[in-house]
Structure 1
Amino acid sequence: MEFLTEFPSMGRRDLTSLRQAIDETFRSFSRAYGESLENFFDPLLHFLIWFEKLLLGMPWPLFLIIIGGLAWLGSRSWKITVASVLAFVAIGVLGMWEDTMATMAIISVATLVCIVVGIPLGILMARSDRTQSVITPVLDVMQTIPSFVYLIPVVMLLGIGKVPGLLAVCIYAIPPIVRLTNLGIRLVDKDVLEAADAFGASPKQKLLGVQVPLALPNIFAGINQTIMMALSMVVIASMIGVKGLGVPVLRAVSNQYLALGLMNGLAIVALAIIFDRVTQSYGKRLQAYRGQSK
């Protein structure tokens, strides 16, 4: 009985000591390397600021033309193109243009970072079962851990601002593109790979000329999901200093401003629908082209 009564207190003491050791280790790490990490991410910060200023300084007619052109190139649908343009016109009329441009900037840069990092990781996973067994649990943790949990070390290392918010968005949004790139390359028909080997293709030629092109529908499905998950992080990222549509939504929740929350929330939904329809349409066209090539 004495052991049973003393063991919980001993466990609590050990657990408290472990927590204190972890906290102290992380504080020491942040003091030693925090400035170096900030300097490392400075180019990304400058690029994000430049892109946000570019969107904010662009005349709205030119922006609408670009959005319409990109929507048409991606979807080849007049309905989606016109709906995309009208959605941005409504956003401007309702006075949410600046916040929307800030959101567009961070989502675009976050998606670009996820593509640059995620596709090579997916390729590495597809080419090595050992690499896949190592990366898959990490992706599982990134997808399941509450976003507020990994905001803590990010903010402790880099403080409040755009870069911590961008990294938080990337951590949350990158798993789909990694997983679907890996899946797409692994699903490439073995007969096609054998034919490439028969023609004397090198591993690099086989990867870039056969596997990646045939996996593009899956890769674009991953990009689609990455964009959707990045948009879902807009409000949470606003809590650590990221400007955009999430700031008025957070203000609306804090002050019970129903109209403000609905308007900015619907603007986020409009962006999500536009990105979703355009990327999905482009992915279906790639899928159809892949089917015809077979």
Structure 2
Amino acid sequence: MTSTGIEQPQTARTARAPRPSRPPREGFSPLQWGLLFLFCIYSLLPLWWVLTTMTKSNGQLYSTFGLWFASPSNFAENVQLLFTRENGIFARWLLNSFLYAGVSAIGSMMFAAMGGYAFAKFQFRGRDALFTMILATIMVPSTALALPIFLLMQQIGLINTYWAVILPSLVNPFGLYLMRLFWEAGFPTDLMEAARIDGASEGKIFWQLGLPLVRGGLVTVALFSFVGAWNNFFLPLVVVNKDTLFPLTLGLSVWNQTSSSSGQDPIYTVIVLGALVSILPLIIAFLSLGRYWQGGLTSGATKG
């Protein structure tokens, strides 16, 4: 019996080419594109309405199509009214918001950096329990802290001052948590020990050696703190009642509550324009610091 009849099927089986794998499909399916389009419409439609409303008078706000422009001359008039109404108090509110958000962001960033460094690089009794207690405060809603903060500020005489808004904003448990991750991922303990052997002080290790390595984390915490302080509404509502101390959020809300629907008073379009002005600093901050923020989140999410 020859081996031809036996070997030929084996040869055929072994010579059969492997089935080519199916190439991965690139791009979105029509359903995914449709959902993405609806999401973009949902997200951008309010902004488009704001842009069109700026070109209308208060009467045109109700008599014209809401999603299209009216007259460029109305835009110039609304801008003038925005910065001249009530003796130009809107500019004061804008400066107050920059003060509250800027000081709160820098202070919160530095406190979080120092606290995160201590929790990440030092061993002390009760470290984990204390850190867990700090993280637990994230679950406490801000409304529950309104009355204690008001009573505390009243006892130390800071009601109706800038510090009544700034001091509570310096406490950022989530920023502390983020900075601990950044210190553990971006600043090796071996490098710190080598610096100590070379005679570097703890302050020099922290300020000159450590902080540049966690720059992405600093920007991330500062950006989150800036946005939170800029959009803060409830805290200023509780601790200040002078209109010269209002931030933009509270000032525009007061204008909205006292607005008249009369066509002679274009206050609603002015409020809409003020709302747009109030979000411009946030857009600029994210566009200018976005690369540091994204890099910081990536480095903080991966431990070495």
TM-score tier, shorter chain, comes to 0.5 to 0.7
Distance 1:198 1:144 in 2: 38
Distance 1:203 1:149 in 2: 42
Distance verdict in 2 for CA 1:271–1:93, change over 3 Å? farther
Greater helix proportion:
1
Partner of 1:216: 215
* Alpha carbons 1:188, 1:215 under 8 Å: kept: yes
Alignment of 1:15-164 (within 5 A): 94-95=82-83, 96-128=90-122, 130-141=126-137, 143-159=138-154, 160-162=159-161, 163-164=163-164
Distance 2:153 2:189 in 1: 49
Partner of 2:186: 188
Distance verdict in 2 for CA 1:272–1:164, change over 3 Å? same
Partner of 1:264: 274
* Alpha carbons 1:91, 1:267 under 8 Å: kept: no
- % identical aligned pairs: 13
Distance verdict in 2 for CA 1:161–1:110, change over 3 Å? same
Partner of 1:4: none
Distance 1:189 1:218 in 2: 11
Which structure has more relative contact order (CA 8 Å, sep 6+)? It is 2
Distance verdict in 2 for CA 1:274–1:196, change over 3 Å? same
Distance verdict in 2 for CA 1:147–1:253, change over 3 Å? farther
* Alpha carbons 1:236, 1:246 under 8 Å: kept: no
* Cα displacement (A) at 1:113: 2.5
- What is the letter of the counterpart of residue 278 of structure 2? I
Q: Deviations over 1:65-86 (max 9, x none)?
A: xxxxxxxxxxxxxxxxxxxxxx
Mark the runs of 5 or more structure 1 residues left unpaired by the alignment: 1-89, 288-294
- What is the letter of the counterpart of residue 186 of structure 2? V
Distance 2:252 2:146 in 1: 19
Distance verdict in 2 for CA 1:92–1:188, change over 3 Å? farther
Aligned length: 196
SS at structure 2 position matched to 1:161: coil
Distance 1:196 1:259 in 2: 62
- What is the letter of the counterpart of residue 254 of structure 2? R
* Alpha carbons 2:109, 2:221 under 8 Å: kept: no
Distance 1:194 1:155 in 2: 42
Q: Radius of gyration: which is bigger?
A: 2
* Cα displacement (A) at 1:190: 4.2
Q: Deviations over 1:105-164 (max 9, x none)?
A: 1212222322342221111111236435413432431x3322222121121122332322
Mark the runs of 5 or more structure 2 residues left unpaired by the alignment: 1-77, 84-89, 261-267, 298-304
Distance 1:279 1:271 in 2: 12
Partner of 1:32: none
RMSD between superposed Cα atoms in Å:
3.6
Compute the TM-score of the two structures, normalised by the length of structure 1.
Answer: 0.54
* Alpha carbons 1:181, 1:218 under 8 Å: kept: yes
* Alpha carbons 1:245, 1:268 under 8 Å: kept: yes
Determine if the alignment matches structure 1 residue 274 to structure 2 residue 284: yes
Partner of 1:167: 167
* Alpha carbons 1:170, 1:230 under 8 Å: kept: no
